[in-house]
Structure 1
Amino acid sequence: MIVKTFRIVAGLNDALRTLFFTTLIFRTGTMAYPFLAAYLLLSGGFDKAQVGTAVACFGVGALAADLAASVLLGRIGARTVMLGGLLLNAAVLAVTPLLHQLPWIITAVVVWGFAYEVVTPASYSATIDGSAPAERKVAFSCYRLAINVGMAIGPIAGGLIFAVSPRAMFWANAACVLAAAGYLALRTKSSGTAARPARATERAAAGVRPLRDHTRFWTIFGLSLPIQLAYSLPSVFASTYVIVGLGMPGYWAGIIFTVNALGIVLFEVPLNAAMTRWANLPTLLLGYGLAGAGFLLMGLSGSGPALVLATVVWTAGEIVVFPGLLHYVSGLAPSGDAADRNMSLYSTGVNVAFIVAPQLALLLSGPGHPGAPWAVAGAAVCVAWLLLIAARRSPYTWHTAEPRTTQEPSTEEEPCKSAI
């Protein structure tokens, strides 16, 4: 599987390969945020409530970025937005360790969240520009692979640096972000703005979008929220559930994270390459079904092996459902600006879920029912699975892609080689 994944990544066109390595370098620099709360508590002068407020402000900045991204992408393009976000990110990281008053720290964290998150919708836009519709599912899988590998490395490196010098961790993070910006600037210097004139032509030709274009998007946006909330649980609740709720040794939480990470790294890209000819509906139904079953099993598990089995099931769902959702949302609007707007709003849903999930998990869990958050998440995903089937019955709630012609090149062996 590793060899096949490597071959698929190596077969990406220049634009997508540049995005892959830019994302990998950028996400490898995710060192400071996981340790932000610990840094503020150890720096002295702040209580837990103040630290919690400061950390939550990162999400506020991220939401602002998602809401502003479509306007920025329409005016200055994905490359400029990415470079601006990376440079602003690095600048904030360099300054944050020098701040000591809470208002200034909160301001820095809001700007940091904005700069960090604005890169995501710009990356979605670059993926759409750099791939044909038939290749897009694999392209999004490769993008997610870069994120997952980078964010597996970054916190480990951040922990090691934090143990030596907490301030140095911020500056190491800034250096990685600058390296990502430099790589992107050098690799796209001659062709980074080529997509903008085409976007202007698309806007002129698109005219006013019909009502069903909007209703289709908001249908899938609503149906994606249970998935976003469910998959926010592992990162914010798994350790608490295993150690506090079930009273099991902490290493079982580590095993859950390891199984999930290995599954994504080893299988996501090859599996989506094999499923490239699948239509959107069966792809999403499979992903939602596996997710719902996996999270229900998590809520019912009372032993380590049962938790691992449940993790395998919901990891399989994650591998299928997220590239499937991105592929479907990206195809709802052929117009460049409309596609940017859809992807930016989709990112908003991701961030809302990540902010809400910890509060819901703590509210639902208790001494007599520690697995309730998992069960509720699984049940919500199963309801969304049923609503997907119902949604496909109307053109106002479901978009059916045009069937692929026999003349289209196969993407199973060498995906994403089309030029921009």
Structure 2
Amino acid sequence: MVKLLNRYAETFSGLSKEVWWLSLITLVNRAGAMVIPFLSLYLTDDLQFTKAQVGWIMTSFGVGSFFGSWLGGKLCDIIGYYKVILGALIFTGVGFFVVQQLHTFWSICIGFFLLITVADAARPAFFVALSAYSKPENKTRSLTLIRLAINLGFSAGPAVGGLIIAFAGYAALFWIDGITCIIAGLILIQTLHPKKARVLDKEKVVEQPVAPQSDLAYVIFLVALAIFGFIFVQYFSTMPLYYKEIHSLSEENIGLLLAMNGALIFLFEMPLIAYIERKKWSSISGLINGLVLTGVSFLMLLITPWTGILILGMAAATLGEMIAFPLGNKFALDRSKKGRQGAYMGLYSMSFAVAHIFGHNAGMQMAQAYGFDLTWLVMIGFTGIGFVLLIIVKKMLAAESKNKSLYLNTK
């Protein structure tokens, strides 16, 4: 057991202190986002909104995430990642204080749109900061450490949030969320101020940067990633209904299945990524494998009515997530060296925002209109489309590499 723990700890070795600080800031920030899991309950129980109204509020949430990712990428290239992250953390904290004072439908739609716009402006900036604070050979593991912090934060936040609601009500939740965002900002000032933090990635960005929308391979990659996200978000919206309505699982057992995702990521993602690095998988190959595993998890549900298949399906989807997301992040960071990093990573974050805007609602509507089996078949079909797009990207990258080699040989 000691030997196993030592090997697990070794997978974290070599990461810079700046990456560890960035992970702590992410953990504090995500653990503080306790309002999000309880938002639908707050809107229906406390403010007495209908489900239809809650749906539109959640849509404004997703649109805010999309716009914020774009805005954050632009600002990152203009004023730098540090100022974007700091401003987003502080103003998001203040935004939580303000939003709890809103009670009408339209004011909450606008309020949450603005709040998430500001909050998600930090997403591309976090990626650019991570790139700067990581040595090139450590970027995939650094990204994995950030993902661990996010998962830990999302695991701890709802548990603590439920206790806060029980003893102090929803208002206290907004105050604590706001305060934790500001605390994360203060930690950033003390640890990652440009005068204190080391920039470890010395790779130069090209003098005549390529616009990300002109980088065809990157654009196709983003479309495939949005499709992957569209498929994967079903596990956190449509799938729980499937567990309850088709397999008659209790809320407690559904919670355990969803918690299995975070537990597997915490225990196995870093060792898995270390293994993949040793085997020198390409980022696109990893993304293809992750997409296929997630698609297979839906296929499993169609093969047998056995309830135990739900565990195997969640394990397959989680394995796909653990492989695909860190390597997808790494590909985007590496590709951003062709142009302005903020713009590249802004589009990367926007691809996930698109998945959230359309994925949850589309899955629910299909399940209600056509049933779960047909919905899973559609997800398998999207898996096939994503697979073809990623194969195209892989061939384009191979052609780029060949042309670059020919150019260097003729110099």
Q: TM-score range by the shorter chain?
A: 0.7 to 0.9
Distance 2:221 2:73 in 1: 18
RMSD: 2.9
| Number of the residue aligned with 2:58 | 55
How do 1:210-249 residues align onto structure 2 when only pairs under 5 Å count? 214-249=215-250
- 8 A contact 2:226–2:351 mirrored in 1: yes
- 8 A contact 1:215–1:396 mirrored in 2: no
- 8 A contact 1:229–1:353 mirrored in 2: yes
| Number of the residue aligned with 1:418 | none
Q: What one-letter code is carried by the residue in structure 2 that aligns with 1:373?
A: T
Unaligned 5+ runs, structure 1: 404-420
Q: 1:338 aligns with which of 340, 363, 372?
A: 340
Question: Could you tell me the percent identity over the aligned residues?
Answer: 23
TM-score, normalised to structure 1's length? 0.86
- 8 A contact 2:220–2:389 mirrored in 1: no
- 8 A contact 2:247–2:307 mirrored in 1: no
Displacement of 1:316 in angstroms is 0.7
Distance 1:397 1:154, change over 3 A: farther
| Residues 270-304 of structure 1 deviation map (CA, whole Å, 9 limit, x = unaligned) | 11112112222432232222122122213445232
Distance 1:399 1:374 in 2: 37
Distance 1:256 1:395, change over 3 A: same
Partner-residue secondary structure (3-state), 2:337: coil
Q: 2:172 aligns with which of 132, 145, 168?
A: 168
Count of residue correspondences = 398
Distance 2:336 2:97 in 1: 39
| Number of the residue aligned with 2:187 | 183
Displacement of 1:190 in angstroms is 5.0
| Number of the residue aligned with 1:372 | 374
Q: 1:108 aligns with which of 108, 111, 117?
A: 111
Distance 2:159 2:172 in 1: 14
- Structure number with the higher helix fraction is 2
- 8 A contact 1:296–1:379 mirrored in 2: no
- 8 A contact 2:64–2:113 mirrored in 1: yes
Displacement of 1:257 in angstroms is 0.8
Partner-residue secondary structure (3-state), 1:24: helix
| Number of the residue aligned with 1:43 | 46
Displacement of 1:68 in angstroms is 1.0
Unaligned 5+ runs, structure 2: 406-411
Partner-residue secondary structure (3-state), 1:291: helix
| Residues 218-270 of structure 1 deviation map (CA, whole Å, 9 limit, x = unaligned) | 11111212211111111112211111233343344223212211111111111
Distance 1:329 1:262 in 2: 26
Question: Is the aligned partner of 1:159 residue 2:162?
Answer: yes
Partner-residue secondary structure (3-state), 1:385: helix
Displacement of 1:97 in angstroms is 2.0
Distance 1:299 1:353, change over 3 A: farther
Distance 2:152 2:182 in 1: 19
Q: 2:361 aligns with which of 359, 362, 381?
A: 359
| Residues 121-164 of structure 1 deviation map (CA, whole Å, 9 limit, x = unaligned) | 11111111122332211111111111111011111111111122
How do 1:242-257 residues align onto structure 2 when only pairs under 5 Å count? 242-257=243-258
TM-score, normalised to structure 2's length? 0.88
Q: What one-letter code is carried by the residue in structure 2 that aligns with 1:183?
A: I
How do 1:133-144 residues align onto structure 2 when only pairs under 5 Å count? 133-144=136-147
| Number of the residue aligned with 2:312 | 309
| Number of the residue aligned with 1:411 | none
| Residues 161-195 of structure 1 deviation map (CA, whole Å, 9 limit, x = unaligned) | 11221110111111211221111111023536876
Q: What one-letter code is carried by the residue in structure 2 that aligns with 1:369?
A: G
| Number of the residue aligned with 2:409 | none
Distance 1:174 1:4 in 2: 38
Distance 1:172 1:212 in 2: 39
Q: What one-letter code is carried by the residue in structure 2 that aligns with 1:22?
A: I
Q: What one-letter code is carried by the residue in structure 1 that aligns with 2:238?
A: F
